[in-house]
Each structure stands twice: as C-alpha cells, then as structure tokens.
C-alpha cells in the first residue's frame, strides 16, 4: 500500500487509516459526526493526496486527448477544467477524470488505483502524435476544502480576498510559498475548492490552511465523512458506483459528455443510447430506513431482480440509512418499494440528491 505523504502529521492528530485503490487514506479522526457537522457549518480540509495525477505534454497533447475522452478539450479555455470519462469501443468506462488545461500541459486527476490503467489505455492509441504521458502522482498532490467558510479560509491563508470559484474554474496562486492551483469543486459541496500543490510542499500548504482556518472552526475531514457527503449529494465514484462495465449515462454522467465535439472512443454507443432516449438501468437513490445491508446487495420487485446497491451510509440529512444503486428503468419512480435480496426488508426509490 502506498502511504500518505503526510501520514506522520495525521497520526499525531489521532487519525485512523484505511485504503482505497491500493493507496492509504485517513478513514477518520475519531468523530465522523463532528467532521460532518464542520463540513456543513464551517469548513473542513481533506487530504486527497491518495488520488493520482497524469500529465500530458507535447504539441499534439490537446487534439490527442480530445479524441480519447467524452468531453470537449480542444475548445476548453486554458486555466479551466472539465470532467470527462474514458470509454472502450463498446461504451463502457475505463475511468473518469478531471482535466486541467494549462499553458504547457494537461493534468488528469484520477481515482486512486486507476493511474496505470489510464496510462495504458491512452498509450495504446498514442501512435504518431506528438504527445507524451508522464506519471505525476509523485510530483503533485490534492487537498480538498469543503464547507460554507471555505472562501474565508483561503482568504486568510492567501493574505488577500479569495473570490469564490465556480465549478471546474481554476486559478493559479502562491500559498505557503508554493505555486498551487485552486480548482472549484462543487460536486459534493457548493463551496468546495481543491488545492493542487507540489507534493514536496504539501506539508507547508496543509499547515497553512489549518492554521488560517483555526479561528473559523476548520477541522480535518476523513474519507468516511467525505463518502457520507458524496452519497448524500448523489455523486457516483469510480471503483465504487462505476466499474468497467458501466456506461456513463447509466451513472447520470451527462455533464461529462459533449454532444458537439468530434469523434472519440465509444462515441457510437453513447450516441445510440442518447437517440434511444433511455438506459435499461440508472443510478438512483434508495431510502433504507434501519435496514442494514452492504453494497452489492440485490434489489428485487416481486420475483424479478431489478438492481443492486453500490454505496451505503447512514445519512444525517435523511435521518436514516440511504444508498446509491442501479435500478431497472421500470422501477425508477420515486416511492417505488423494492425488497433487498430475499426479503422481507423493503426499501424505497428516492430522487437524488437526498434531502431531509
């Protein structure tokens, strides 16, 4: 398992550790509920340096990647980002990625454990283009700020007013003596900002943000609390809710797809599915009440299997256990009752995101 660069720092804070995709994470700091409350009322800082980074350089880097992903890259403005999927020729997902377009390169932010897979996928199609793939996880690392006081924390750390960033907008700044990129990330929290920093300066950036945020109530956030926020927001995660058989439209990833760009790997499948107007199954929310089940549990309607669970958490906002899962299109109506596995426990289909 690849340890966190800041393992020693988290250990001193009483962290409990876990792993995702073969890379170490902080599972929590002893009180998941307190971390969750801080994310809702003040601000939290999450060490997301377990995520992987791929860098692409070369004159043809933009046109090459444009033909490999579902999203627009050619016309993406420099200094902004896009969320995209990479697909097989059959339209199934290889991975998802956030792509940051800089003056001299492209950065791909990837789920832990997918870096080698993505590089192999891209390299397979890299024939005559002037583009080079660089493993950059050892050079760059991600920290994640969430919560309504995020802008205040950044303003204090930067020593000047920080204008909030819209989703996927980016800004290069100097923080704790390090050149970093701030990237708006409203996927799970409307105020979220990711801080992409040199790994060598990660400790300085972490300490600067925690010290600046201390008067504002900032707390460190573990992976378990982050997952709770993610599931409540209805956001799928590759490796948990999306796998190598998932078609993006099944996972509600319409925002990751451009319908105005040229050809890309898997485009024909996406076009056919869009023209048809529906998928046979889609990711949806499920209200579980007190039913204690694990991801992978089968969902049935009568005698018919209609889906399965992918993520399960106990949600403060919903006041019960909730889940993300795939359900057949004939059973997607909110309020539809389904049984878990052989029963007798029942659950209800719910709209996303979850609300109280």
Taken in order of first residue, the domains within the chain and their CATH numbers are: 6-49+138-233 (3.30.1360.120), 53-135 (3.30.70.1400), 280-355 (2.40.30.110)
In the predicted model, what is the mean pLDDT of residues 287-299?
A: 95
Q: Which residue in the block uniquely carries the two structure tokens 């490999």?
A: 68
CA distances from 13 to 8, 28, 51, 200, 242 (A): 9, 10, 21, 21, 33
**DSSP character string of 73-98:** -TTPPTTBEEEEEEE-TTS-EEEEEE
In the predicted model, what is the mean pLDDT of residues 242-257?
A: 96
Output the pLDDT for position 276. 80
Is pLDDT above 90 for 126?
yes
In the predicted model, what is the mean pLDDT of residues 4-24?
A: 98
In the predicted model, what is the mean pLDDT of residues 133-158?
A: 98
Output the pLDDT for position 356. 63
Is pLDDT above 90 for 342?
no
Which tokens sit at 106?
């492209």
Q: Which residue in the block uniquely carries the two structure tokens 């599931």?
A: 231
Confidence band, pLDDT 50/70/90 cuts, at residue 278: confident
- Which stretches does DSSP call E strand in 185-319? 193-198, 219-221, 281-289, 298-301, 304-315
Is pLDDT above 70 for 179?
yes
Q: How far apart are CA 309 and CA 286, in angstroms?
A: 9
Q: How far apart are CA 257 and CA 274, in angstroms?
A: 11
Q: What is the tens place of the pLDDT at every residue in 43-60? A: 999 999 999 999 999 999
Output the pLDDT for position 277. 76
Q: Which of 53, 24, 81 is nearest to 140 (CA)?
A: 53
């Amino acid at each position: 398992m690849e340890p966190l660069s800041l393992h020693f720092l988290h250990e001193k804070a009483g962290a409990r550790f876990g792993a995702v995709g073969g890379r170490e994470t902080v599972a929590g700091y002893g009180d998941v509920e307190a971390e969750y409350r801080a994310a809702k009322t003040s601000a939290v800082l999450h060490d997301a340096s377990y995520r992987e980074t791929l860098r692409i350089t070369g004159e043809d880097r933009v046109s090459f990647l444009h033909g490999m992903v579902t999203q627009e890259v050619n016309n993406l403005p420099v200094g902004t980002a896009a969320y995209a999927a990479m697909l097989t020729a059959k339209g199934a997902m290889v991975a998802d990625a956030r792509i940051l377009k800089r003056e001299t390169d492209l950065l791909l932010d990837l789920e832990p454990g997918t870096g080698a897979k993505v590089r192999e996928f891209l390299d397979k199609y890299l024939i005559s283009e002037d583009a080079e793939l660089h493993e950059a996880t050892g050079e760059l690392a991600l920290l994640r700020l969430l919560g309504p006081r995020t802008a205040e924390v950044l303003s204090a750390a930067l020593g000047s007013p920080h204008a909030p960033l819209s989703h996927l907008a980016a800004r290069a700044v100097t923080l704790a003596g390090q050149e970093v990129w701030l990237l708006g990330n409203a996927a799970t929290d409307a105020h979220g900002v990711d801080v992409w920093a040199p790994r060598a300066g990660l400790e300085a950036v972490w300490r600067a943000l925690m010290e600046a945020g201390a008067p504002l109530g900032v707390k460190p956030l573990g992976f378990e609390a982050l997952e709770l926020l993610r599931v409540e927001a209805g956001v799928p995660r590759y490796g948990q809710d999306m796998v190598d058989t998932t078609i993006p439209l099944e996972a509600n990833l319409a925002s990751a797809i451009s319908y105005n760009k040229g050809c890309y790997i898997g485009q024909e499948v996406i076009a056919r599915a869009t023209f048809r107007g529906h998928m046979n199954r889609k990711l949806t929310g499920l209200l579980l009440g007190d039913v204690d089940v694990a991801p992978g549990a089968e969902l049935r309607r009568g005698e018919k299997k209609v889906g399965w669970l992918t993520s399960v958490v106990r949600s403060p906002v919903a006041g019960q256990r909730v889940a993300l899962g795939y359900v057949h299109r004939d059973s997607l109506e909110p309020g539809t009752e389904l049984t878990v596995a052989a029963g007798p426990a029942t659950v209800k289909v719910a709209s996303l995101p979850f609300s109280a």
